[in-house]
Amino acid sequence: MTKSLTRVALVVLTLFAALLVNVNVIQVVQAESYAERDANRQLARDFSVRRGAIRAADGADIARVQETPDQLRFLRVYDGGPLFAHVTGFLSPVFGKTELEESADEALSGAGNAIDTFADLIANREPVGDTVVSTIVPEVQEAARSALGDRRGAVVALDPASGEVLALWSFPSYDPNLLTANTPETRAAWDALQADPARPLSNRATSEFFAPGSTFKLVTAAAALENGLDPNTQFPDPRSLDLPGTDALIPNFGGSLCNGGQPLNLFDAIRVSCNTAFGQLGIDVGGVALATQAERFGFTTTLGGQMPRVAPSQITTPELPPEQIDAATAAQTAIGQRDVVATPLQMAAVTAAIGADGILYAPRLVSRHVDAADSELRRFEPAQVSQAVSPATAAILTEAMIGVVARGTGRQAQIPGVEVAGKTGTAQRGEGQNPNVWFVGFAPAQDPRVAVAVLVEDGGGVGSEATGGQLAAPIARAVLQAGLARP
């Protein structure tokens, strides 16, 4: 009996040893081979199957396939090239996929539609991926490109009532057609893009952070109003605000008085973008209230998760939780400086939420999926992320933003016959650096069809005296006009 048990034990140990050796062989010796097989299967799926198109909102293809006689049977073609590059992204046999090509890959490749795949197999039909219809309106996208011109920056336009992205422009851009093959020219193009200090491959609209400057005063004002501030409360009008516990101060733009030395209320403070009033508001409401309000507008989140690769905007660093924000830091935070960083998409979302009676809708680049016969397979409906502010607070902020464009720092965003609500921003970047400048707004003010955020980097060629009202507001006006003209 003992000998039998010993034999069984030896057999079991031998099997375990063999299993262990096999696992190590697979994980160490053959790992590269298996990875290569997986990569080859992925290449076969991406380039041997007729991938679905990506369309603009008007039905025009902005990404499609072209059949070739080569091993990679179907290569991507991007109509419009750089115009839609940060919307479609690229599909490359060498460098992978980005943006909608990545986030909508299951639909585009057909891998997400098991029923159709099975039916194709039974009927011996060639599989075809689904077409993804985007929300991008070409005329609004073109307006964003033309208005920003050759200045580095980004423009985002949203429909406030649905979250649909009407335009998403990041400059510099690039031509994704240069990356779709596997040739020496493809690799040379990639190397050049990677080496470019202007970072054309980077999507500034959704993935890069910038101090929002005075556009963040909308969040500060919202926090104060949601915590009981009467908008007619009077603030003093010094040239600068001493920061408690420090030797530092917050000056007004140019060291000037905001209201000739006379007290001013919240409407006045927003209209002239008064730093001292908002610094004091930050001290009064505190870091926790500012952080809570920012989060209701989508800060620290992916804004509902319906966009490719959204970088969450931040109000503070991980090392400084909101409850530890002191008065001086709260004052600097309240004017959109210190540790506050935001993407242009985030600031467009804040603005759109104010225009939508305080409701934040998830920004969305895709409206629906259709099959090869244009039959609808899936429709994406507006998704509410949060009630960022009450309708009453949204109405007060809208009234104040109307004043900015009608009589304040945002006059260059005026559109004849249309009431525009907006806010300018000029974000300082440190000694010797030109500011980044902003404009956010929506129109028509009382029933908005389009909201916009414009960022112009590094003074936009103007230099250290650049302001949001001077540079970003006219760009916003052109984009708002294009958005209002759409059907």
Q: Where are the alpha helices (DSSP H) in 27-137?
A: 31-48, 85-88, 99-103, 105-109, 114-123
H or E segment and range at residue 441: strand 436-443
Active site residue 170: no
How far, in Å, CA of 331 to CA of 388, rounded?
22
Compute the chain's Rg from CA coordinates.
27
Instruction: Name 241's bridge partners.
Output: 250
Classify residue 389 by its DSSP letter.
S
- The active-site residue, picked from 170, 214, 313, 367, is 214
Helix 217-226 to helix 344-355 angle (10° resolution) is 40
How far, in Å, CA of 68 to CA of 47, rounded?
10
Q: What angle do CA 216, 242, 276 make, to 5 degrees?
A: 35
H helices, E strands: number in the chain? 16, 17
How far, in Å, CA of 231 to CA of 395, rounded?
11
How far, in Å, CA of 166 to CA of 156, rounded?
8
How far, in Å, CA of 319 to CA of 145, rounded?
38
Other Cβ atoms closer than 10 A to 163: 29
Distance from first CA to last CA of the chain, Å, rounded?
88
Q: DSSP string covering 266-316, please?
A: HHHHHHHT-HHHHHHHHHHHHHHHHHHHHHHTTTTS-TTS-STTPPPPBSS
For 432, phi and psi rounded to 5 degrees? Answer: 80, 0
Residues in CB range of 166: below 8 A, 6 or more apart = 57, 135, 136, 137, 140, 141, 157, 158, 159, 450, 483, 486
Q: Cβ distance 400 to 430 under 8 Å?
A: no
What tokens does 107 get? 């639909």
Widest pairwise Cα distance in the chain: 105
Classify residue 418 by its DSSP letter.
B
How far, in Å, CA of 347 to CA of 112, rounded?
33
Classify residue 222 by its DSSP letter.
H
- Catalytic residues, by residue number, are 214
